[in-house]
Amino acid sequence: MGLVEDFIAKAKSRPVRIVFPESKDPRILAAACKAGELGIAVPIVLGDASELRRMATEKGLSRDKLRIVSLTDDATLDRFADVYARARGLRTAIARKLVAKPLAFGGMMVRTGEADGMVAGAANATASVIQAASLTIGFQDGLSTPSSYFVMIIPEFMGQKDKPLIFADCGMNIDPTPTQLSEIARASATSARNLLGQEPVVAFLSFSTKGSANHAAVDKVREAVRITRERYPDLLVDGELQGDAALVPSVAEKKAKGSPVAGRANVLIFPDLDAGNICYKLVQYLAKAKALGPLLQGFAKPVSDMSRGATVDDIIGITAITATQAQKLT
């Protein structure tokens, strides 16, 4: 069983409520209907019920497991507006206009416990999804930096088939500060534990290993490691490490002897978006790795972004991942 199929099986074991704000996109509607039919989630779509039923019928989709929530229900809008206004220090009238937008409405469903997670991005830019989630769902305790990660499934690595690794941040923070890198590491460790069921072994990557080079870029990584150890003493982290020292035991023995992380890392923290984005694409195409993501992290409850070119199967896979994460919180 592949990792995506494993997520689907886990999601089926205890379906949770996933809201899809972009139901006017036919891919989203098809994926939501299929997710419900397969038992991956309890799908909630936002929009006009008659229009969505018509779309589903025209495409031959089963609506049996689909829940449709109107964006114009006055009682719901008033309730969401009150919660949002108090949290953001706004007048209720202004808050009501904001929460009536699909992404914000979906986020408020998650915030108020009426949904367990949100899947979006097929019809909206990543920045819009992140902004809506930041303002409605909010962040995990102690975090203020949203970030993204990929689950990279390497077909074969040192005798292990389909080896999963967390790569972060590969899609969002361009030049994170040491403190932001530390928060990305914390969020990524949580993602590894909740999604992969593995204890995170976190490597902060650099072009230097343990002082082999000196530069301001290396200093940034070293400072991120220091902050992480101070703020999150429960995490197993080390750095700065080159990629080979982080992953290959024989190299680690030469370059970083005695490191608790070198040679066994499963969470790789890149120093900036240049490094992370370039690396994941090279691994994806040269190593024929499966790249699941970008997945958002750092939020108080699961919210997933996806490419606007996502297929129905892609959306179902992201839904299963989001549901698996949400199971840990419900």
Question: Is 279's pLDDT higher than 60?
Answer: yes
Asked whether residue 110 carries a pLDDT value surpassing 60, the answer given is yes
Q: What is the pLDDT of residues 148-173, one digit of tens each?
A: 999 999 999 988 998 999 999 998 89
Burial string for 287-312 (b: 16+ CB within 10 Å, else e) reads eebbbbbbbbbbbbbbbbbbeeebeb
Q: What is the pLDDT of residue 45?
A: 95
Q: Which two tokens stand for residue 295?
A: 């997945």
Mean pLDDT of the chain: 93
Whether residue 275 has pLDDT greater than 70: yes
Q: What is the pLDDT of residues 97-106, one digit of tens each?
A: 999 999 999 9
Q: Which domains does the chain have, with CATH numbers?
A: 3-138+299-327 (3.40.50.10950), 147-291 (3.40.50.10750)
Which pLDDT value is given to residue 222?
97
* Res. 95: pLDDT tops 90: yes
- Tell me what the mean pLDDT of segment 10-19 comes to: 96
Q: Are strands 201-205 and 160-168 parallel, antiparallel or unpaired?
A: unpaired
HSE at residue 247, side-chain half, CA atoms within 13 A, is 17
**Pick from 84, 108, 109: which is nearest to 94 by CA?**
84
* Cβ atoms within 10 Å of 91's Cβ, excluding its own: 9
Residue 174, CA distances (Å) to 169, 273, 277, 295 in order: 9, 5, 10, 16
Is residue 277 predicted with pLDDT exceeding 90?
A: yes
Model pLDDT, residue 218: 96
pLDDT value of position 112? 96
Q: How far apart are CA 15 and CA 7, in angstroms?
A: 12
Structure confidence at residue 219 as a pLDDT band (50, 70, 90): very high
pLDDT-based confidence at 305, cuts 50/70/90?
Answer: confident
> What's the pLDDT at 16?
97
Q: With a cut of 80, say whether residue 286 has pLDDT above it.
A: yes
Please compute the mean of the pLDDT values over residues 76-89 and round it to a whole number.
Answer: 94
pLDDT-based confidence at residue 306 (cuts at 50, 70, 90):
confident
What pLDDT sits at residue 270?
98
Alpha carbons 146 and 136: distance in angstroms, whole number: 13
pLDDT in tens, 43-52: 999 999 999 9
Average pLDDT in the 248-264 region?
96
Given the structure tokens 């069921």, which residue do they identify? 197
If you average pLDDT over residues 86-90, what whole number do you get?
Answer: 91
The residues with which 290 forms a beta bridge, in sequence order, are 153
What value does the mean pLDDT take over residues 238-261?
Answer: 96
Please tell me the predicted confidence (pLDDT) of residue 240.
93
pLDDT digits (tens, 9 = 90+) for 26-35: 999 999 999 9
Structure tokens at 61: 């989709």
**In the structure, what pLDDT confidence band is assigned to residue 147 with cuts at 50, 70 and 90?**
very high
Within 10 angstroms of residue 264's Cβ, the number of other Cβ atoms is 15
Tell me the mean pLDDT in the region 127-137.
93
Strand partners, 241: 205
Specify the pLDDT at position 186.
95
Residues 146/172, Cβ–Cβ less than 8 Å? yes
Return the HEC string of the chain. CCHHHHHHHHHHHCCCEEEECCCCCHHHHHHHHHHHHHCCCEEEEECCHHHHHHHHHHCCCCCCCCEEECCCCHHHHHHHHHHHHHHHCCCHHHHHHHHCCHHHHHHHHHHCCCCCEEECCCCCCHHHHHHHHHHHCCECCCCCCCEEEEEEEEEEECCEEEEEEEEECCCCCCCCCHHHHHHHHHHHHHHHHHHHCCCCEEEEECCCCCCCCCCHHHHHHHHHHHHHHHHCCCCEEEEEECHHHHHCHHHHHHHCCCCCCCCCCCEEECCCHHHHHHHHHHHHHHCCCEEEEEEEECECCCEECCCCCCCHHHHHHHHHHHHHHHHCCC
Yes or no: say if 105 and 260 are a contact pair by the CB < 8 Å rule: no
- Give mean pLDDT, residues 90-101: 94
Residue that is written with structure tokens 């690396």 in the block: 279
Structure confidence at residue 293 (pLDDT): 78
C-alpha to C-alpha distance for 225 and 231, rounded to whole angstroms: 10
